[in-house]
Amino acid sequence: AQSVTQLGSHVSVSEGALVLLRCNYSSSVPPYLFWYVQYPNQGLQLLLKYTTGATLVKGINGFEAEFKKSETSFHLTKPSAHMSDAAEYFCAVSDQNKLVFGAGTILRVKS
Amino acid sequence: DTGVSQDPRHKITKRGQNVTFRCDPISEHNRLYWYRQTLGQGPEFLTYFQNEAQLEKSRLLSDRFSAERPKGSFSTLEIQRTEQGDSAMYLCASSKDRISYEQYFGPGTRLTVT
């Protein structure tokens, strides 16, 4: 079965600093990979996805992620953090007809 | 298109009572999913529908849980004889007809069983 590991349940960065949220996956087939963001008491919003093709994927709000098959990774980055980026971020991998999510990483942005 | 909607947003119930949640997906989406999210965890898959057919159920979905999607439109998730362990956020999502298509999530229904 597919699985996702997100390294670091909490990440803290200063406003304007680089954001790096780590995601490693396990999949027996070529994966489809997703990053979602969740604000308090809200549902999940899709940031970006990788299906096939270019391994560097750009998403909304300046986020991007790179699919590295050799490392089984799909880390999320943003060059400059903004206060509004403070939220919980989930990495997910497709597993037949559903998504398997990691445990999430809470991003804190310090002013 | 107003996105995926869920009702109610919050539900407090006493142990042993039955509860029912509703999800209205994005209109042109054939697939509808239910997930459960507990504090500090990512969403966990419960079940999914392709149109009106329920095609997969997780082992998390005990006999006390039942889901329907009549006519392939809205869906309901019922929990019978609620237990404190059922307290969680119940998320609904919908997508077009392939796993590669992104799933759009509703705001969730937060269930508290006292």
pLDDT at B50: 93
Contact A98/B at CB under 8 A? yes
Of A9, A34, A43, the CB nearest to B108: A43
Contact B97/A at CB under 8 A? no
β-pair type (A64-68, A10-14): unpaired
Contact B112/A at CB under 8 A? no
In one-letter notation, the amino acid at residue B105 is: F
Q: Which residues of A touch B93 (CB under 8 A)?
A: 44
C-alpha pair distances (Å), B15 with each of B65, B83, B114: 15, 5, 6
- Taking CB atoms and an 8 Å limit, are B106 and A43 in contact across chains? yes
Instruction: Read off the pLDDT of residues A87-101 as tens digits, 9 standing for 90 and up.
Output: 999 999 988 889 999
Instruction: Read off the pLDDT of residues A29-79 as tens digits, 9 standing for 90 and up.
Output: 888 999 999 998 888 999 999 998 889 999 999 999 999 999 999 999 999
Length in residues, chain B: 114
- Taking CB atoms and an 8 Å limit, are A36 and B40 in contact across chains? no
- Cα torsion A65, A67, A70, A73 to 10°: value is 50
Query: Which residue is it, tokens 């119930």?
Result: B13
